[in-house]
């Protein structure tokens, strides 16, 4: 089972020089984020997670196409929570995969996927770069993310080439709020990976993008044809230019619809980003025979159907199934991130724990934003607890493994150890894998 290896060095002895420059947010919110410690997995555990991540991604992809082709707009709006202005662009079938990160619980009672961030996952530099620097720089173990940069490059090459074949052969821009250090570092890591492929990519702060409605996206007069944005589409769709009283988010979506802009990840990622998508998958599984009769075809192959109860937890649009059976469950906001808007209820239906994030000064706004979102309800699953050594002393937390699937391929692991709801105060300990016996 997973264990912790503490390196015989202090934090500042490890996180200095190039390492500190490449991961400048190794401390966040006034405390350690990255630790000089490793999450050690046995090789069979790493292989099991890679296989599980492949099957979950395959099921997600298949249900995505089912939704795009067969489900009405009302379902996407009412059950998946998509803003009406997102529907048309989300239905565009882009044949290539972007960057996604599934969140997994590794426990003796089973390996379970509890979420999937398919729109704007972060944690990329620490997984693709820092893990190798710490694991292979200080130990004889292997990193669980050795080929992640190659997977990133292959995925972006496929997406960029696809968009260029659609006639989008102008500038390739990468954007985020440059005032947010973590987002900026993630964005620049991806930009440099794309530059290595020979594409002329450049960075532009999010607030410097200029939209000419119906014509194109620009920065300082230069047209942008392809845009990577570390900015969630559920935020963008509400953005307005207050000076000109324009719905600039909707203007950008219109450019996508008219073939004047390609974005990464593609808008279809919003369908799978919705946590309502997990409830849909479970419903399709539970009512599979009925769905097959109504559709006139079988959505899943037998191997896929077998893996849904193996890797997914019962998830519903309503908590009554758990309440009537006195089963502990988790309530999640559709667009929750970093655990925000998540709550755990006991078998008696009483609230046990909720998460709202570390930014206390914004807590009222955060609570309002996530409280007013639709919710899904997922069976609670126990998490493995591990003890860490931090600068503040010993800490026992729950392990959550983020499994990256990039370009449709398993690419690496992001272990975070925090509370029973993994929030933005969780610690990162790179994944190390025992080398198999010769």
Q: What is the pLDDT of residue 368?
A: 81
Helix, strand and coil in the chain, % to nearest 5: 40, 25, 35
- 57 burial (CB, 10 Å; 0-12 / 13-18 / 19+) is buried
- Tens-place pLDDT, residues 105-152: 999 888 999 999 999 999 999 999 999 999 999 999 999 998 999 999
- Tens-place pLDDT, residues 287-306: 999 999 999 999 999 999 99
397 pLDDT above the threshold of 60: yes
Q: What is the pLDDT of residue 331?
A: 97
**Euclidean distance between CA atoms 259 and 281, whole angstroms:** 31
Q: Give one DSSP letter per residue of 290-341, joined into a string.
A: HHHHHHTS-SS-HHHHHHHHHHBPPEESSSHHHHHHT--EEEEETT--TTTT
- Tens-place pLDDT, residues 249-300: 999 999 999 999 999 999 999 999 999 999 999 999 999 999 999 999 999 9
Q: What is the pLDDT of residue 358?
A: 63
Q: What is the pLDDT of residue 438?
A: 57
Residues in contact with 77: Cβ distance below 8 Å, sequence separation at least 6, in sequence order:
83, 84, 87
Q: What is the pLDDT of residue 361?
A: 47
Residues in contact with 433: Cβ distance below 8 Å, sequence separation at least 6, in sequence order:
40, 41, 42, 43, 46, 141, 142, 143, 144
> What letter does residue 130 receive in the DSSP assignment?
I
How would you write 134-152 as a 3-class SS string?
A: HHHHHCCCEECCCCHHHHH
Q: How far apart are the first and last CA of the chain?
A: 21
363 pLDDT above the threshold of 80: no
pTM, full prediction: 0.96
Q: What is the pLDDT of residue 362?
A: 54
- Greatest CA separation found in the chain? 67
- Residues 33-45: what's their mean pLDDT? 96
- Tens-place pLDDT, residues 44-81: 999 999 999 999 999 999 999 999 999 999 999 999 99
Q: What is the pLDDT of residue 359?
A: 59
Share of the chain above pLDDT 90, in %: 89
Sign of CA dihedral 415, 418, 424, 428: negative
- Residues 389-401: what's their mean pLDDT? 97
168 pLDDT above the threshold of 60: yes
């Amino acid at each position: 089972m997973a264990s912790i290896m503490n390196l015989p060095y202090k934090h500042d002895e490890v996180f200095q020089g190039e390492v500190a420059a490449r991961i400048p947010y190794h401390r966040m919110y006034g405390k350690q984020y990255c630790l000089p410690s490793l999450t050690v997995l046995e090789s069979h555990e790493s292989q099991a997670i890679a296989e599980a991540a492949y099957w979950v991604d395959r099921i997600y992809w298949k249900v995505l196409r089912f939704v795009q082709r067969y489900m009405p707009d009302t379902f996407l709006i009412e059950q998946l929570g998509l803003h009406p202005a997102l529907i048309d662009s989300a239905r565009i079938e882009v044949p290539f995969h972007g960057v996604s990160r599934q969140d997994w619980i590794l426990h003796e009672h089973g390996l379970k996927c509890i979420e999937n961030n398919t729109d704007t996952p972060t944690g990329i530099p620490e997984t693709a770069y820092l893990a190798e620097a710490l694991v292979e720089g200080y130990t004889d173990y292997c990193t669980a993310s050795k080929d992640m940069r190659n997977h990133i490059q292959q995925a972006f090459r496929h997406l960029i080439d696809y968009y260029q074949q659609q006639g989008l052969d102008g500038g390739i821009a990468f954007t985020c709020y440059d005032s947010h250090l973590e987002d900026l570092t993630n964005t620049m890591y991806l930009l440099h990976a794309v530059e290595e492929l020979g594409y002329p990519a450049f960075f532009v702060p999010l607030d410097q993008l200029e939209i000419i409605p119906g014509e194109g996206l620009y920065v300082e007069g230069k047209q942008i044809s392809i845009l990577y944005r570390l900015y969630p589409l559920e935020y963008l769709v509400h953005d307005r230019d207050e000076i000109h009283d324009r719905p600039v988010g909707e203007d950008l979506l219109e450019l996508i619809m008219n073939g004047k802009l390609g974005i990464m990840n593609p808008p279809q990622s919003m369908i799978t980003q919705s946590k309502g998508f997990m409830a849909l998958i479970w419903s399709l599984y539970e009512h599979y025979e009925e769905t097959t009769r109504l559709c006139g075809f079988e959505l899943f192959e037998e191997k896929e159907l077998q893996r849904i109860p193996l890797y997914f937890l019962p998830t519903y649009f309503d908590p009554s199934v758990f309440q009537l059976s006195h089963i502990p469950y988790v309530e999640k906001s559709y667009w929750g991130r970093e655990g925000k808007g998540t709550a755990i209820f006991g078998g008696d239906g009483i609230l046990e724990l909720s998460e709202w994030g570390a930014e206390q000064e914004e807590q009222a706004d955060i609570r309002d934003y996530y409280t007013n979102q639709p919710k899904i309800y997922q069976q609670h699953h126990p998490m493995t607890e591990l003890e860490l050594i931090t600068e503040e002393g010993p800490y026992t937390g729950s392990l959550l493994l983020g499994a990256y699937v990039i370009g449709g391929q398993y690419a690496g692991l992001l272990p975070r150890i925090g509370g029973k709801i993994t929030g933005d105060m969780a610690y990162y300990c790179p994944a190390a894998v025992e080398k198999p016996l010769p």
